[in-house]
Amino acid sequence: EADIYQTPRYLVIGTGKKITLECSQTMGHDKMYWYQQDPGMELHLIHYSYGVNSTEKGDLSSESTVSRIRTEHFPLTLESARPSHTSQYLCASSGSAGGELFFGEGSRLTVL
């Protein structure tokens, strides 16, 4: 069973609010990822990190930002949420590039 946790699981907020989605893993993985998933659509990579103080943008342009101050923690922040940010956000980690990916349960964000 994967030891990767996301909070909150569900979040409903108003436009313009700042939000942070938390992601933590206890597997000691260097590689962590954030994906965005809309209903019936494929997962899109929005951010990834290969270690502490290393973050990169993914394939899908996103107004969110991430940080990696500790190996186990990879939070995602939206400074000013908009309805277009409504989506499911999935955090994942891997022990190696291209290796098995372990996902968290996801954070369902709704922006009104």
Partner 1 sequence: KNQVEQSPQSLIILEGKNCTLQCNYTVSPFSNLRWYKQDTGRGPVSLTIMTFSENTKSNGRYTATLDADTKQSSLHITASQLSDSASYICVVSDRGSTLGRLYFGRGTQLTVWP
Q: By CB under 8 A, name the binding residues for partner 1.
A: 2, 6, 40-45, 48, 90, 92, 96-106, 108
| Closer residue to partner 1 (CB): 56 or 79 | 56
| Closer residue to partner 1 (CB): 48 or 74 | 48
Q: Which amino acid is at 91?
A: C
Supply the minimum distance, in Å, between the C-beta of residue 15 and partner 1: 24
Supply the minimum distance, in Å, between the C-beta of residue 87 and partner 1: 13
| Closer residue to partner 1 (CB): 74 or 102 | 102
Supply the minimum distance, in Å, between the C-beta of residue 77 and partner 1: 20
Query: How far, in Å, CA of 35 to CA of 47, rounded?
Result: 7
| Closer residue to partner 1 (CB): 16 or 60 | 60
Supply the minimum distance, in Å, between the C-beta of residue 29 and partner 1: 13
Per-residue HEC secondary structure of 44-109 comes to: EEEEEEEECCEEEECCCCCCCEECCCECCECCEEECCCCHHHCEEEEEEEECCCCCCEEECCCEEE
Query: How far, in Å, CA of 109 to CA of 6, rounded?
Result: 12
